[in-house]
Structures are given as C-alpha cells and as structure tokens.
Amino acid sequence: MPEIRVIDPLRPDPDVIRHAGGMLRSGSVVCFPTSGLYGLGAVWNDEAAVRRIYAIKGRDRSKPILILVRNRSDISDLVTEIPDAAIRLMDRFWPGRLTLVFAAASSVPEILTAGSGKIGIRLPAHRVAQALIEETGAPITGTSANVSGEAGCSSIAELAAEVRTSVDLVLDAGALAGGSGSTVVDVTTDPVRVLRWGAVSMGEFQEVVERWQGL
C-alpha cells in the first residue's frame, strides 16, 4: 500500500512537500491534487516512472501524457516555438484550466509525446501542485489519477483500487472541485485547434479568440 499524507490545500506543509519532491526525484509516482481532480506525477524525463504511469492507468501508449510546469520560463526548454496565440491564451487562462499543446523540443522523451512530436503543457493553479513542482525542481506529469477511460477523481476515496495500490505516495488535500479536466488546445496550428473541451468553456475560449482576431 502507498504512503498517504494529508496536506492542507491552502498552506501545504513544507516538510510533506520536501518528502514528496524527494520521492519524485528518486523515481516514484505520486498522486496529488492538480486542480479540480487528482493527478499522477512523475518527473518529466524519468522514462521508467512515466512507463509506470501508463501501466497504472492502463493507458494506450499511443496517447501522450501532459506535463505541468512551475512557471512560463520552463516552457522554452520543452518546446521549439511559443506562438503568439499561446501567449494570449496563457495570459487569459493560466494558471489553471487550459492545457496547451506545443511542438516538442528534441529533449522531450518520445514516451510523453507518443511519437506525435507534440507535448501538452499546463501551469497548475492548485497550491500543492505548485509547491510540489517547485520542490522537485523540474516539470512533472499531470495526467488524471484514474483508469484510462473512466472518470477522474475529485477525492482520494474515489481512486480506483488499481491506482491507489500502485502509486508510491498519495497527497490527500481533501475534496477538490471536481468537474471536467482541462480544455486542451493545439497551438501548433493556425488557427489554433481545440482537441478537448473541458474546464474552459467554448464561450470563454471564443471570447478570447474573437478579441485578438479583432486587433
């Protein structure tokens, strides 16, 4: 069974965060709050740990896994270009509800891109997630903590048994807001393309796009 640590969602205990960050750096998989749902974290370039996440979720290896960053400056080492459209979307929706898909830099492991040459990136809004990435000192994966094809989990009690028993550490921040996952937008195309509707609604998104197209 995994280690479970209860953590305050607003004032994360630094000792718990240090412990979790150390586990990530040593190759562990950690379940943690990402926003409205819990996610599975591994250091972005730890291919063995990322493979474990695919196995835990039963996720098809043809489907990429997104990563979470601590700030915008982290992105430049992960992508080949940051288009103007991406900057406008980050200005409006980050941190939080939007995952942007960029052309991946050569340093990004193929296991994350699933051979697509693209990488999904999000700046999380949850304070535990922010503190965890900062402590780890590197981007981490942020895929939902569920069996592939099943609903995401807004509380630890909702975790599927195969997920709960397979991770190394659970950071229990209590009940999260729930709802859908992030909206996913591919910014490698012009115009940008929505791959999945989620926490950012169609109305919100179109309002931003119409505003910049009117400039």
The CATH number covering residue 208 comes to 3.90.870.10
Q: Is the pLDDT confidence value at 215 over 60? A: no
Q: Which domain holds residue 106?
A: 3-213
Helix (H, G, I), strand (E, B) or coil at 184: strand
> How many other CB atoms are found less than 10 A from the CB of residue 192?
19
Distance CA 47, CA 109 (A): 7
pLDDT confidence bin for 164, thresholds 50/70/90: very high
Q: Is the pLDDT confidence value at 173 over 90? A: yes
| Percent of residues, the chain, with pLDDT higher than 70 | 99
Whole-prediction pTM value? Answer: 0.93
pLDDT at residue 25 in the model: 98
* Residue 163 and residue 170 in contact, taking contact as beta carbons nearer than 8 Å: no
User: If you average pLDDT over residues 144-171, what whole number do you get?
Assistant: 94
Q: Tally the domains of the chain.
A: 1
Distance CA 132, CA 31 (A): 11
pLDDT at residue 214 in the model: 61
